[in-house]
Amino acid sequence: MSTDTLHIGKVIGDVLDSFTPTIKMTVTFNKKQVFNGHEFFPSTVTKRPRVEIGGGDMRSFYTLIMTDPDVPGHSDPYLREHLHWMVTDIPGTTNASFGNELASYEIPKPNIGIL
Protein backbone atom coordinates (compact mmCIF):
# COMPACT_ATOMS: atom_id res chain seq x y z
CA MET A 1 0.00 0.00 0.00
CA SER A 2 1.33 3.42 -0.94
CA THR A 3 0.66 6.92 0.33
CA ASP A 4 2.09 8.59 -2.81
CA THR A 5 -1.24 10.04 -3.96
CA LEU A 6 -1.81 11.48 -0.48
CA HIS A 7 1.53 13.31 -0.76
CA ILE A 8 0.70 14.57 -4.26
CA GLY A 9 -2.72 15.78 -3.11
CA LYS A 10 -1.07 17.48 -0.10
CA VAL A 11 -3.21 15.50 2.34
CA ILE A 12 -0.01 14.34 4.05
CA GLY A 13 1.69 17.42 5.34
CA ASP A 14 -1.43 19.59 5.44
CA VAL A 15 -4.04 17.31 7.05
CA LEU A 16 -2.13 14.24 8.25
CA ASP A 17 1.38 13.46 9.36
CA SER A 18 3.24 10.87 7.32
CA PHE A 19 2.22 7.28 8.15
CA THR A 20 2.58 3.70 6.99
CA PRO A 21 -0.77 2.09 6.03
CA THR A 22 -1.49 -1.14 7.90
CA ILE A 23 -4.84 -2.14 6.37
CA LYS A 24 -6.64 -1.60 3.09
CA MET A 25 -9.69 0.67 2.92
CA THR A 26 -11.95 0.91 -0.13
CA VAL A 27 -14.43 3.77 -0.61
CA THR A 28 -17.12 3.70 -3.30
CA PHE A 29 -19.95 6.05 -4.26
CA ASN A 30 -22.59 4.37 -6.43
CA LYS A 31 -20.15 1.57 -7.36
CA LYS A 32 -17.46 4.12 -8.39
CA GLN A 33 -14.27 3.69 -6.39
CA VAL A 34 -12.70 6.80 -4.86
CA PHE A 35 -9.08 7.61 -5.66
CA ASN A 36 -7.19 10.74 -4.65
CA GLY A 37 -7.60 13.43 -7.29
CA HIS A 38 -10.73 11.98 -8.90
CA GLU A 39 -13.74 14.27 -9.03
CA PHE A 40 -17.38 13.27 -8.58
CA PHE A 41 -20.56 15.00 -9.67
CA PRO A 42 -22.68 16.23 -6.73
CA SER A 43 -25.40 13.78 -7.80
CA THR A 44 -22.97 10.90 -7.17
CA VAL A 45 -22.27 11.80 -3.52
CA THR A 46 -25.82 12.41 -2.25
CA LYS A 47 -25.75 9.18 -0.23
CA ARG A 48 -22.98 8.08 2.11
CA PRO A 49 -20.29 5.97 0.50
CA ARG A 50 -19.67 2.30 1.10
CA VAL A 51 -16.45 2.01 3.07
CA GLU A 52 -14.86 -1.42 3.36
CA ILE A 53 -12.20 -1.94 6.00
CA GLY A 54 -9.53 -4.57 5.51
CA GLY A 55 -7.56 -6.26 8.21
CA GLY A 56 -7.55 -9.83 9.31
CA ASP A 57 -9.24 -9.66 12.68
CA MET A 58 -12.81 -8.70 13.57
CA ARG A 59 -11.56 -8.04 17.11
CA SER A 60 -9.68 -4.98 15.81
CA PHE A 61 -11.79 -1.82 15.56
CA TYR A 62 -11.31 1.27 13.40
CA THR A 63 -12.59 4.85 13.25
CA LEU A 64 -13.61 6.60 10.02
CA ILE A 65 -13.55 10.39 9.85
CA MET A 66 -14.52 12.16 6.61
CA THR A 67 -13.60 15.85 6.59
CA ASP A 68 -13.12 18.70 4.18
CA PRO A 69 -9.76 20.22 5.11
CA ASP A 70 -10.05 23.47 3.15
CA VAL A 71 -13.50 25.00 3.62
CA PRO A 72 -14.72 27.01 1.74
CA GLY A 73 -11.99 26.51 -0.86
CA HIS A 74 -8.34 25.58 -1.35
CA SER A 75 -7.21 29.15 -2.04
CA ASP A 76 -8.78 30.58 1.17
CA PRO A 77 -9.55 27.82 3.70
CA TYR A 78 -10.48 30.24 6.50
CA LEU A 79 -13.04 27.83 8.01
CA ARG A 80 -10.52 24.98 7.82
CA GLU A 81 -11.85 21.52 8.77
CA HIS A 82 -15.49 20.57 8.30
CA LEU A 83 -16.78 17.20 9.54
CA HIS A 84 -18.87 15.30 6.97
CA TRP A 85 -19.09 11.88 8.66
CA MET A 86 -17.77 9.96 11.67
CA VAL A 87 -18.11 6.25 12.41
CA THR A 88 -16.32 4.47 15.29
CA ASP A 89 -15.87 0.86 16.34
CA ILE A 90 -15.84 -0.56 12.80
CA PRO A 91 -14.71 -4.20 13.05
CA GLY A 92 -11.84 -5.18 10.77
CA THR A 93 -12.83 -7.17 7.66
CA THR A 94 -16.27 -5.45 7.53
CA ASN A 95 -17.65 -2.11 6.37
CA ALA A 96 -18.69 1.16 8.02
CA SER A 97 -22.32 0.04 8.37
CA PHE A 98 -21.16 -2.29 11.19
CA GLY A 99 -19.76 0.63 13.21
CA ASN A 100 -21.25 3.25 15.52
CA GLU A 101 -22.21 6.39 13.57
CA LEU A 102 -21.40 9.42 15.75
CA ALA A 103 -21.95 12.06 13.05
CA SER A 104 -24.41 11.41 10.23
CA TYR A 105 -23.17 11.68 6.65
CA GLU A 106 -23.38 15.23 5.33
CA ILE A 107 -23.23 15.77 1.58
CA PRO A 108 -20.15 17.71 0.43
CA LYS A 109 -21.35 21.05 -0.93
CA PRO A 110 -18.49 23.09 -2.35
CA ASN A 111 -19.33 26.73 -3.06
CA ILE A 112 -17.03 26.78 -6.07
CA GLY A 113 -15.89 24.21 -8.56
CA ILE A 114 -19.12 22.20 -8.60
CA LEU A 115 -19.12 19.70 -11.43
Cα-Cα-Cα-Cα torsion 41, 94, 85, 73, nearest 10 degrees, comes to -50
Could you confirm whether domain 4-103 is CATH 3.40.50.2300? no
User: What local confidence, expressed as pLDDT, does residue 115 receive?
Assistant: 47
User: What local confidence, expressed as pLDDT, does residue 113 receive?
Assistant: 52
110 alpha-carbon distance from chain centroid: 16
Any idea where the domains of the chain sit in the sequence?
A: 4-103
User: What local confidence, expressed as pLDDT, does residue 70 receive?
Assistant: 74
Supply the pTM of this predicted model: 0.82
On the question of pLDDT at 1 being above 60, the answer is: no
Mean pLDDT, the chain, rounded, equals 86
Instruction: Please tell me which residue, 113 or 33, carries the higher pLDDT value.
Output: 33
Residues of the chain with pLDDT > 90, as a percent, come to: 48
* pLDDT category of residue 55 using cuts at 50, 70 and 90: confident
